[in-house]
Amino acid sequence: MLNDTALTRLDTRFPFKRAVITGGASGLGYATAELLAKRGWRLALLDCDRARLRESIRSLADLGASDVSPHEVDTGDEVAVQAAIDLFASRHDGLDFALNAAGVAVAGRFLETPPSDWEWILRINVLGVANSCRAELPHMLASGGGLIINVASAASFVSGADMSAYNASKAAVVALSETLEQEHRRDNIQVTCAMPGFFRTRLLEHARAPDGALGTAKKIMHTSGLEAEPVALEILTGAAAGRTYIVLPQEYRFLWRFKRLAPVSFQRFMIRFRERKEARARNRDGGS
Domain boundaries, the chain: 2-248, 261-288
* Contact by Cβ (8 Å): 30, 109: no
- 245 catalytically annotated: no
Return d(Cα 121, Cα 251) in angstroms, integer.
27
- pLDDT at position 227: 87
- CATH class for domain 2-248? alpha beta
215-233 confidence digits (pLDDT tens): 666 555 555 567 899 999 9
Lowest mean pLDDT, pick from 130-134, 139-143, 190-194, 279-283: 279-283
Q: What is the pTM of this model?
A: 0.92
- pLDDT at position 3: 64
CA-wise closest residue to 198 among 160, 254, 252: 252
Residue 123 has pLDDT above 90, yes or no: yes
Per-residue pLDDT, averaged over 102-118, amounts to 95
Q: Is the dihedral of CA 116, 118, 124, 130 positive or negative?
A: negative
Return d(Cα 19, Cα 33) in angstroms, integer.
9
Query: In terms of pLDDT, which residue wins out, 19 or 202?
Result: 19
For 207, what's the count of Cα atoms within 13 Å in the CB-facing half-sphere? 22
What's the pLDDT band for 1 if we cut at 50, 70, 90? very low
Per-residue pLDDT, averaged over 266-282, amounts to 89
46-76 confidence digits (pLDDT tens): 999 999 999 999 999 999 998 999 999 999 9
Lowest mean pLDDT, pick from 162-166, 203-207, 254-258, 268-272: 203-207
Residue 251 has pLDDT above 60, yes or no: yes
Per-residue pLDDT, averaged over 253-262, amounts to 96
- pLDDT at position 288: 47
Residue 147 has pLDDT above 60, yes or no: yes
First to last CA, the chain: 52
- pLDDT at position 281: 74
Per-residue pLDDT, averaged over 282-287, amounts to 70
Q: Is the dihedral of CA 218, 107, 194, 150 positive or negative?
A: negative
Return d(Cα 149, Cα 248) in angstroms, integer.
15
